[in-house]
Amino acid sequence: MGENAKTTIITYDYYAGKQKDCGKLYGTSGSASMYVFADDFKAENLTIENSFDYALDVNGKQAVAAYTSGRRMIFKHVRFLGHQDTLYANSGTQYFYKCYMRGNVDFIFGAAQAVFEECEIESLDRGLEVNGYVTAASTSRHQEYGYLFLRCKLTSNAQDHTVYLGRTWQSRRRS
């Protein structure tokens, strides 16, 4: 728990295309600033940020701020900051209350069952014809529910009709 979400900041700057010492790439799953693998977890009043410089001309710009996997996870007044692939809600059941999420491409993604209530979700402007997608769910066909958004505020300074709510993320999880 932090004192204030704007001053209590967890940050790092890995990205998917960054090379490890062994020569392999970190990949999207390996790029997170914070990993949470826990049931009954609660975070409150803090910022989780991936500070990778998205303007760099590199391959593999996915840069996860938070990778979450667990049942009964609660995030209250938490800010998730990044660009592409900001929040990787990988698995479990997760609840986000009065959170702020910022990104541009598939920045809320994964296979978790997640409720987003009264959150502000900001899509960044990349200056493209398609600025991005807010979500990329990979909900298993055997799972009845995926993402639920209740009374959330979607904002962007991008040109009208260039940001889309979501697209499916086709992965091996679908089988």
**Residues 128-136: what's their mean pLDDT?**
91
pLDDT value, residue 175: 40
Question: Does a structural domain hold residue 97?
Answer: yes
Compute the distance between CA of residue 32 and CA of residue 113 in angstroms, rounded to an integer.
Answer: 20
Question: Is the confidence at residue 174, as pLDDT, over 60?
Answer: no
Could you say which of 21, 53, 106, 160 is catalytic? Answer: 106
Tally the residues of the chain: 175
Question: Does a structural domain hold residue 4?
Answer: no
DSSP state of 98: S
Could you say which of 21, 53, 57, 85 is catalytic? Answer: 85
Q: What is the CATH number of the domain that holds 30?
A: 2.160.20.10
Domain that holds residue 48: 9-52+61-174
**Residues 74-88: what's their mean pLDDT?**
97
Q: Assess whether 85 carries a catalytic annotation.
A: yes
Question: Does a structural domain hold residue 2?
Answer: no
DSSP 32-75: -SEEEE-SS-EEEEEEEEE---TTS--S-----SEEEEEEEEEE
Q: Is the overall model pTM greater than 0.85, yes or no?
A: yes
Q: Assess whether 13 carries a catalytic annotation.
A: no
Question: Is the confidence at residue 169, as pLDDT, over 80?
Answer: no
> Of all residues in the chain, what percent carry a pLDDT higher than 90?
85
Give the CA diameter of the chain.
46
Q: How many domains does the chain have?
A: 1
Question: Is the confidence at residue 110, as pLDDT, over 90?
Answer: yes
